[in-house]
Amino acid sequence: MSTIIDKAKEIVERNGMTSKITLLQGKMEEIKMPFPQVDIIISEWMGYFLLYESMLDTVLYARDHYLAKDGKIFPDKATIHMAGIEDGDYKDEKIGFWDNVYGFDFTPLKDTALAEPLVDTVELKACVTDPCKVFEIDLYTINAEDLAFRAPFSLKARRSDFIHALIAWFDIEFTACHKPIRFSTGPHSKYTHWKQTVFYLREVLTVEDGECVTGFLASKPNAKKKRDLDISLKYELQTSDDSRFAAGGLDFKM
């Protein structure tokens, strides 16, 4: 859609590829393709939390209208994962800040701050729980309506600690390559600009090694802005001896 296509045309011409490469400017849903089918679709459609401001709807449109039988999509699989983290200092800085703003009580803004997920880099050592796979996408079979989901999670504590937030990240796979390729945007991997998505909890959870935080993660496109997301979290911690119980839920706008 952007004017960078003008420079792309110059580059194609300078490298003697005008007979092999055709550049089209416009929205996939609106342009007229010069041929009825394609063998391969390549797209970097992923957004924060995988689906925020993503272009996946457009990729699925291209698949349904142009991909030949047995055609390939790159990448073709994506998975959202979750974990629980200890992040007391940063939570106090981001959320507790509103308790005292230069001597004034700004606590009504706490709920607003909690409702906005933070996109930031989380250190692996902050992870209190094992990761949990929550939502999977197969680009060959998924439909646009499937992108609104509600999925269970179970996060097992790997040490006794506090949980201040739940984080989400995604993995991407290119399974149709001669040698399958994948990369992760998780805290255990090299830095990517997608970072991780942090959902701060209203209350601090105290977990012992081996205990599980269970719940549901739900996400759907915003009714007014389809590239924005409405995300909700329901979580519960109950010890085997019933000595501790905690439950809660939060709604987020992204």
Helix and strand element counts for the chain (H, E):
4, 12
Residue 154 near residue 216, CB atoms below 8 Å: no
- CA–CA distance from 207 to each of 183, 203, 246 (Å)? 30, 13, 10
Cis peptide before 34 (omega within 30 of 0): no
Nearest to 200 by CA among 164, 155, 154, 161: 164
3-class DSSP state of 111: helix
Annotation marks residue 29 as catalytic: no
Q: Which of 10, 30, 53, 203 is catalytic?
A: 53
Which tokens sit at 124? 């692996």
- CA–CA distance from 159 to each of 81, 130, 214, 235, 239 (Å)? 19, 10, 16, 19, 14
In sequence order, what are the beta bridge partners of 174? 181
Q: Which of 44, 116, 203, 211 is catalytic?
A: 44
Residue 200 near residue 94, CB atoms below 8 Å: yes
Q: Which helix (H) or strand (E) covers residue 73, if one does?
A: strand 67-74
Q: Which residue has the tokens 């797209």?
A: 43
Annotation marks residue 44 as catalytic: yes
Report the C-alpha gap between 245 and 238 in whole angstroms. Answer: 4
Active site residues: 44, 53
